[in-house]
Chain A
Amino acid sequence: MRPAVSQDVLLALLADARLPTGAHTQSAGLEPALRAGLHPDDVPAYLAARLRTVVRVESATAVVARHAVLRGLGASGVDTPAATAALRVVEGEWAARTPSAALRRSSEQLGRGYLRLARRLWAGHPALAALEAVPRGPVGHAAGGAGRTAPAGPAGAGRAGPPGSSGRGRRGPARPLVLGVTAACAGLDPIGVARLVALDDVQTVASAFLKLAPVDPLVTTGWVLAAAPAVDALARDVAHLTVAADLPAAGAPLTEEWAEAHVHATERLFSA
């Protein structure tokens, strides 16, 4: 048993931009937004809009995934099949609230990076085994939704390679699923993982902005601080959720449209 780590230190660790998860390849949709004409002065409003919509879904999903895996594992802590079934339901509800395939793919790419981290830091934890047992469909299909029959394992692995694998990488669990499970492994509270998802999104936009439309980084850090009350409010709103069907379903058609366009953009700096 590893010694207990405080909630504050856990959150600081997992929210650290230096965490090796490949997150530096992401702009949280900022690059396509700017290309589509978003004015740099409107980035604080962009942050707020994301916190009300897509980030709210992601954050709530992480909270519910954390609950689902812990509840599924049961008092014994090892009922992996039940936990897998519960996570599969959560992922299906998340996918239903994330209609853009591009956004789902980005989330899965990030999820694979976080999963790599969790596998090493919490190796052997039954919550991770439960997550990795969630069936994955082939690339390009909707995430393994509740009741959907999806083939297990990577599709078409073999000498010819999986179809479409050269483009956007293979399937993985969505980022909020992995973060919820990571919270379960690490002992991070629901409100902590909710804050983590929300703060990470704000920080990702702020960091990416410096590459896309350089300003004094103190300006973007100011945006993060200004968004902090909204981050906290979002976390308080979703931290109590336990049921996948209760996940918020805030649509963000522009965000989705930009994300879809970015898949086909040339000379992009960020993958999403």
Chain B
Amino acid sequence: MPDTPATIPSTAPVLPARAPGDTRALRLGVAGPVGTGKSSVIATLCRELAGEMELGVVTNDIYTDEDARFLRSAGVLDPERIRAVETGACPHTAIRDDVTANLLAVEDLEQDFAPLDVVLVESGGDNLTATFSPALVDAQIFVLDVAGGGDVARKGGPGIARADLLLVNKTDLAPHVGVDVGRMVADASAARGGRPVLALSRHDRASVDALGAWLRGLLLEHRAGRHVAQDPGPMAPHFHAGEEGGHVHAHDGGAGHHHDDDHAPGHAPAVTSPA
């Protein structure tokens, strides 16, 4: 995560000029469990920012191109700017281990609508451990929602702990599901070491404005060359049963323990897909 800009732009920022011929967009991933509102967040971003930024969207679907069709029907962006990647039931693989199909789709958009400012890449709904490879995106948002339970943020995981922005979505539902939003945000903030957390509801104007301002600030940092893509990390710390009573892996730094060898072969569809 870059340092938060001193002033969060509430309107379109004045961006540094691009080098001639530079058509590479800021690539922003949106990940999170199924049903937390990733498509809705992307629709909100398009609705808020399409007037001031050139946007493109790549969706990753478990089935066909449902999310792309949802976004096209939302009427928030030229349908030609919304492309679907079919992930072969491997949403995790497609954003992390083998990003080929997604990179091709992103590059196609960047070429077809050059110059784009931002390409939003929506992951297929997966579980708490799915995060984007920095080979695919420059920054990523991880989306939780209050309906998934107030304790999810506290449970942690790479996206919750280290995505560039954590959204706690659907805050308008909190009274109906018995979740204390303030508590959930506090738990998330504690897990994130100061990285930003935003409680969002598309019915809460101030929160939508804050989301738009965050992306404006990120784009400014990116264009100024100050933003460096971070890998949130492969997995949450977890327990391995075994001799000597088992041991806990933190996966910080990634040294000494190659996870794929243990229980998640990168691409062999036989055993991986958490979907």
Judged by a CB distance under 8 angstroms, whether A170 is at the interface is yes
List of A residues within 8 angstroms of B88 by Cβ: 24-27, 208, 211, 269-271
Contact B81 A161, beta carbon cutoff 8 Å = yes
List of B residues within 8 angstroms of A157 by Cβ: 111-112
Judged by a CB distance under 8 angstroms, whether B229 is at the interface is no
A158, B78: Cα distance in complex, Å: 13
Contact B268 A17, beta carbon cutoff 8 Å = yes
List of B residues within 8 angstroms of A116 by Cβ: 100, 103-104
Contact B104 A22, beta carbon cutoff 8 Å = yes
Contact A161 B113, beta carbon cutoff 8 Å = yes
Cβ-defined partner of A25 (8 Å) among B63, B68, B94, B270: B94
Tell me the nearest residue of chain B to A220, going by C-beta.
B270
Contact A24 B86, beta carbon cutoff 8 Å = no
List of A residues within 8 angstroms of B273 by Cβ: 211
In chain A, positions 217-253 with a C-beta closer than 8 Å to chain B are: 217, 220
A159, B113: Cα distance in complex, Å: 5
Judged by a CB distance under 8 angstroms, whether A44 is at the interface is no
Query: Residue-by-residue, is A148-189 near B (CB-CB < 8 Å gives 1, otherwise 0)?
Result: 000000100111111001100110000000000000000000
Most buried by B among A24, A158, A169, A267: A24
Query: Residue-by-residue, is B130-154 near A (CB-CB < 8 Å gives 1, otherwise 0)?
Result: 0000000000000000000000000
Judged by a CB distance under 8 angstroms, whether B97 is at the interface is yes
Report how many A-B pairs have Cβ atoms within 8 Å: 104
Known: A268-B63, A269-B63. A18 touches B104 (CB 8 A): no
A22, B68: Cα distance in complex, Å: 19
Tell me the nearest residue of chain B to A265, going by C-beta.
B64
Judged by a CB distance under 8 angstroms, whether A266 is at the interface is yes
Cβ-defined partner of A113 (8 Å) among B100, B267, B269: B100
A166, B83: Cα distance in complex, Å: 5
Interface range, B side: 35 or more
A161, B72: Cα distance in complex, Å: 15
Cβ-defined partner of A20 (8 Å) among B62, B89, B98, B112: B98
Judged by a CB distance under 8 angstroms, whether A112 is at the interface is yes
Most buried by B among A162, A170, A207, A269: A269
Cβ-defined partner of B271 (8 Å) among A25, A112, A154, A217: A217
List of A residues within 8 angstroms of B265 by Cβ: 18
Judged by a CB distance under 8 angstroms, whether B79 is at the interface is yes
Q: How far is the CB of B104 from chain A (nearest CB, A)?
A: 6
Cβ-defined partner of B86 (8 Å) among A17, A170, A271: A271
Most buried by A among B64, B68, B101, B111: B101
Judged by a CB distance under 8 angstroms, whether B266 is at the interface is yes
A207, B265: Cα distance in complex, Å: 13
Cβ-defined partner of B105 (8 Å) among A159, A169, A265, A268: A169
Contact B64 A267, beta carbon cutoff 8 Å = yes
Tell me the nearest residue of chain B to A221, going by C-beta.
B270
Q: How far is the CB of A136 from chain B (nearest CB, A)?
A: 13
Q: How far is the CB of B126 from chain A (nearest CB, A)?
A: 14
Known: A160-B80, A271-B88. A21 touches B98 (CB 8 A): yes
Contact A24 B94, beta carbon cutoff 8 Å = yes
Judged by a CB distance under 8 angstroms, whether B252 is at the interface is no
A25, B98: Cα distance in complex, Å: 10
Q: How far is the CB of A207 from chain B (nearest CB, A)?
A: 5
Contact A169 B99, beta carbon cutoff 8 Å = no
Q: How far is the CB of A172 from chain B (nearest CB, A)?
A: 9
Contact B267 A18, beta carbon cutoff 8 Å = yes
Contact B89 A21, beta carbon cutoff 8 Å = no
In chain B, positions 81-126 with a C-beta closer than 8 Å to chain A are: 81-83, 85-90, 93-94, 97-101, 103-105, 108, 111-113
Contact A210 B104, beta carbon cutoff 8 Å = no
Top 3 nearest A-B pairs (CB, nearest first) are A22-B100, A161-B80, A22-B101
Q: Which residues of A contact B (CB under 8 A)?
A: 17-18, 20-27, 112-113, 116-117, 154, 157-162, 165-166, 169-170, 207-208, 210-211, 217, 220, 265-271
Offer 7 A-B interface pairs, CB within 8 angstroms, sorted by A: A18-B268, A24-B93, A25-B85, A113-B101, A165-B108, A166-B80, A207-B270
